[in-house]
Each structure stands twice: as structure tokens, then as C-alpha cells.
Amino acid sequence: MNEHDSERIAGLLEQDGLEPIDDEAKADVVVINTCCIRENADKKLYGTLGTMKAWKDADPSRQIVVAGCLAQKDRELVRQRAPWVDVVLGTHNVHRATELLNESRVSGAVTEILDEAIVDDYALFPSALPVRRETSYRSWVTIQIGCDNTCAYCIVPAVRGREISRPFEGIVDEVRGLAANGVTEIFLLGQNVNSYGRDLSLASRRAGDESVRVVPQFAALLRAVGAVPGVQRVRYMSPHPKDMREDTLLAMAETTSVCEHLHYPLQAGSDAVLAAMHRGYTAQRYLDRLAEARRTIPDLAVTTDVIVGFPGESEADFMQTMEVAATAQFDAAYLFIFSPREGTTAAAMVDKFCDPAEVSERYNRLKVVLDRTAVQQHRARIGRVEEIVVEGTSRKNPDHLTGRTRQNKLVHFPVSEKLRIGTYARVEIIDAARFHLTGRLLEVTALPTHRTRLAVASA
């Protein structure tokens, strides 16, 4: 979500006459778009702002913008700790970035934080705002903002606000426009995508339409987006296990362009910890729905998130998480040590905080299990032929390209001549590691049709 917001801010700056530059020392404007999910983000922000003070002092006409979730949460603290920042803006007024920059040039430092999105504006601005996408064949498409869940560890509802779904047809129209410009991969974004549309149907009921059922519309949206001509791949994140419905799984299985990848956050395998987290499901319910997903969607890859050391987690709780992780056989997992975020329920559970040394030891034990499963899942693909879309040159070997399968697995493969980013090809998998596969190019199946961004020198 933050990456997509960064694309919008960059698009607005370009529209206002600015050009992107790689050398920060030569920049006129620097935008820091922040996240506040982890504590390290706070430290990184203030450390970066500290080093930028000399940059700002060297030329006071230079401007610094702090945007995003940390700005939303710590609006006064940012101004207090870094008074040299020119603009502080939050998650609900991205569309005002250039206006606030121009205002700060005239009247000095500006802080503008909206406590929630203006629904009418939000329905319009995602598709109306200019966007500077770094990847031309793929596009993020926001389908909702905010979250109505109350997960004890999560700061997102406080900084992104209540859940608001975009109108169905507006999303599909945006995808049609992207496909017409050569975008072939659509990535649907939301804090809780599989509850998309519940608020829309509720609003219709309240307006007097008794025929409308108050249910999510995400499955229908998947089918509609997947049916847009030119769209070859549809991905989404993140769903919530408590809202995963059979109709969504069927839409994934029956819509050809929807990829066989499900990011399915577990967070913990202990029912006691899940209840303390306010997750709304049990470990068995999670595993049952995961099994149903694999039965329904052939060749499904599943990734997850797990938090270690949630307040009150005992060794027995942790062992249950280990057991669930081993049973689930994830393709990959994002493993986190609990980080208290001010303003969340969990942050107040100080008397239940786990011993850091013990948490670190648990983290390492669980990582062994998750890494072993990931390697097993990858090795099972050796000898298979996979469709990949080219993402660019491998960072470690300039003679190799990198592509991604429909299951969201990274594949490195050697080439004699470069293929343009966005090219679709078939590769045979010949080796596997924990984080990637190695392949052999068999054939190119589709050339990219998106427009290529050209660098334009100033006169």
C-alpha cells in the first residue's frame, strides 16, 4: 500500500514539473514515505532526518516531505524532532502532496493530517491521480482502504482509518484502462481484501434495498478483473483467514488469470494466543480452510506471516505454532518478533511481555522449520516447466534474468540476449534454493505491450 502511495506522490511531482533523480545530493525535493508496522521504521525515519539536516542547511530552498503511516501516527513528534521538515502529510491526503509543497514555499512548514478519508474524494482520486510506476507491465490497484478489524498488535486501523471499499465499477474501469495501456498483471490491494464490498452492500441495505445481502463482493471482483481483455495475471493481498470464503476460492480456481498463490497470514498456531490477538479464528479452522484452498485450487502456493513472542506466549503456545507451521507446509513465511506499537492493545500488555532472549531463541527454532519446508516446496518443482514474466536482470549475475512464476516464485535463468521486462516465457526448473528457483529458458510466449518510459534530458 505504501509503495502504491509512493507511485502516486511521484506521479504528482512529475506532473508539477519535477524530474526524478538518483543522486539525493542534487535533489530539490526529497519525500520519505513511511511505514509504522515495525519499530525499526521509527528509528530509520529519525536517523534519516538527522542526516538530512546538513543537506537542508546547505540550501534552505531544498524541501523535505514526510508522508505515510508514521506521519499519520506521530504528526506532532515529527515536527518536534525534525523542525527542518517542510511538509508532514498523512495517509488520507496523498492527493495534496504538491499543493502542500507549494504552500510551504510561501508560508513555511506545513502539517496536514486528516483523521479519515473523505469517501467521495477517495472514490475518485486513486484512478484520477497520476502514477509513476517503476514496473510498467504490472500495476497496483487499490480496492479498499482502512480496516475494521481489531487485531491487538496492529496499528493499521489507527493510521489508515475505517474500512472503505471503492465502487466496484470504478475498479474494473481502472483495470480496463491499465490493460489498454499494456499492463498485463494487476495486483489488488487492501488491508483486508476479502471483506471488500461488505460496506457497499450494507450501505445499499440502509438505503432501502432489502434485496441486497450484506456479504463481501471480493469473489465477484476477482472474476470481473480477471475477465478484462489483456489481463494475464491477477494477484491480491492481504486476505484475513476469518473472512476467507468458499466463493473466493472458487473464483481463484475458475478465473484463468488469477494466480495460484495465496498469502494467508497465520500469526500464531496457539488458540490462546490467537484469541489474545483478536484474530477471530482457531488454528484448526485455519488449517481446515487451508486444506480446502489446496483442494479447490490446483498447484496452489501458500505464504504466510507469523509473529513470535506475542505478550503471554508460553513455550507450550509456541510449540503449537511450530506444529501448525510444520503441518501447513508453507512455500515461504515472513517471520517477525513482536514489536509493541503505541496505541495498540498489545502495547499495554507490558506485564506479559516475553523475555527477549527466549523470543530470539524461539524465532530461530521456528525459522529452521519454515526454511526447511520452503526448500522442500521448491525442490518439488525441479523438472517442471513454469510460465514466468521477466522482471529484469539478476542482481547477483548480469548474465541471468529474473522472472516470477504464477505461484510468485522467483526464477533466475541464463540468457544469451536480454529480454524486455514484462516478457512472458516458459522455463524448465533445474535447481532450487530457499528463496528462488533456477531455470533454463525454453521459449518466449508473449512480448510486452506496455509503453517504455524514456529518459528526457532538460534543455
Regarding predicted confidence, which is higher, 283 or 74?
Answer: 283
Whether pLDDT at 375 is above 80: yes
- Shared-domain flag, residues 17 and 36: yes
Q: Does any domain span residue 36? A: yes
Q: Are residues 401 and 371 in the same domain?
A: no
314 Cβ partners below 8 Å, 6+ apart? none
Q: Indicate whether 327 pLDDT > 60.
A: yes
Instruction: Give the single-character DSSP code of 234.
Output: E
pLDDT for 129 beyond 70: no
Half-sphere exposure of 430 (CA within 13 A, CB side): 11
**Tally of domains in the chain:** 4
* Rg over CA atoms, the chain: 23
User: Can you give the pLDDT at residue 130?
Assistant: 59
344 in a domain, yes or no? yes
Instruction: Based on the fold, state whether residues 309 and 416 are members of the same structural domain.
Output: no
* Residue 196 and residue 137 share a domain: yes
How do residues 438-458 score in pLDDT, each as one tens digit?
Answer: 999 999 999 987 655 444 433
What percent of the chain is modeled with pLDDT above 70?
93
Longest dimension (CA), the chain: 68
Residue at a domain's end among 259, 293, 313: 259
**Helix/strand/coil for 374:** helix
Predicted confidence (pLDDT) per residue in 111-120, tens digit: 888 876 554 4
Spatial CA neighbour of 229 closest among 166, 175, 187, 169: 175
Q: Are residues 83 and 61 in the same domain?
A: yes
Residues 406 and 367 in one domain: no
Same domain for 235 and 266? no
Instruction: State what percent of residues in the chain have pLDDT above 90.
Output: 71
Quick one: the chain helix, strand, coil %, rounded to 5?
40, 20, 40
Q: Do 321 and 426 belong together in one domain?
A: no
Q: Pick from 359, 380, 401: which residue ends a domain?
A: 380
Are both 96 and 151 inside the same structural domain? no
- The neighbouring-strand residues paired with 67 are 33
Q: What mean pLDDT value characterizes the chain?
A: 90
Q: What is the mean pLDDT of residues 93-102?
A: 90
Closest by Cα among 200, 219, 141 to 173: 141
Q: Are residues 23 and 50 in the same domain?
A: yes
Does residue 456 belong to any structural domain of this protein? no
Which grid coordinates belong to 409?
516464485
- Nearest-angstrom CA–CA distance, 340 and 169: 39
Q: Encode pLDDT of 175-211 as tens digits.
A: 999 999 999 999 999 999 999 999 998 888 777 777 7
The rounded distance, in Å, linking the Cα atoms of 199 and 147 is 11
* The predicted structure's pLDDT at residue 139: 92
CATH code where residue 60 lies: 3.40.50.12160
Residue 187 CB-half CA count within 13 A: 16
Indicate whether 126 belongs to any domain. no
Rounded Cα distance, 443 and 458, in Å: 40
What is the CATH classification number for the domain harbouring 181?
A: 3.30.750.210
In this structure, the dihedral spanned by the alpha carbons of residues 5, 148, 150 and 117, taken in order and rounded to 10 degrees, is 40
Judge if 252 and 143 occupy the same domain: yes
- Containing structural domain, residue 151: 133-259
Q: How many residues does the chain have?
A: 459
Give a yes or no: residue 216 inside a domain: yes
Residue 120 lies in a domain: no
pLDDT tens digits for 376-428?
999 999 999 999 999 999 998 999 999 999 999 999 999 998 899 999 999 99
Strand partners, 66: 32, 88
Same domain, 366 and 430: no
Q: Report the CATH number at residue 409.
A: 2.40.50.140
Pairing of strands 144-145, 164-165: antiparallel
61, 77, 112: which is the final residue of a domain? 112
Alpha-carbon distances of 434 from 372, 388, 401, rounded to whole Å? 8, 18, 18
Name the band, by pLDDT with cuts 50, 70 and 90, for residue 301: very high
For the record, the C-alpha cell of 189 comes out as 490491494
Evaluate whether residue 250 is within a structural domain: yes
We report the CATH number of the domain holding residue 331 as 3.30.750.200
DSSP string covering 170-231: HHHHHHHHHHHTT--EEEEE-TTGGGTTHHHHHHHHHTT-TT------HHHHHHHHHTSTT-
Residue 455 domain-assigned (yes or no): no
Q: What is the pLDDT of residue 458?
A: 39
Report which of residues 93 and 305 the model is more confident about. 305
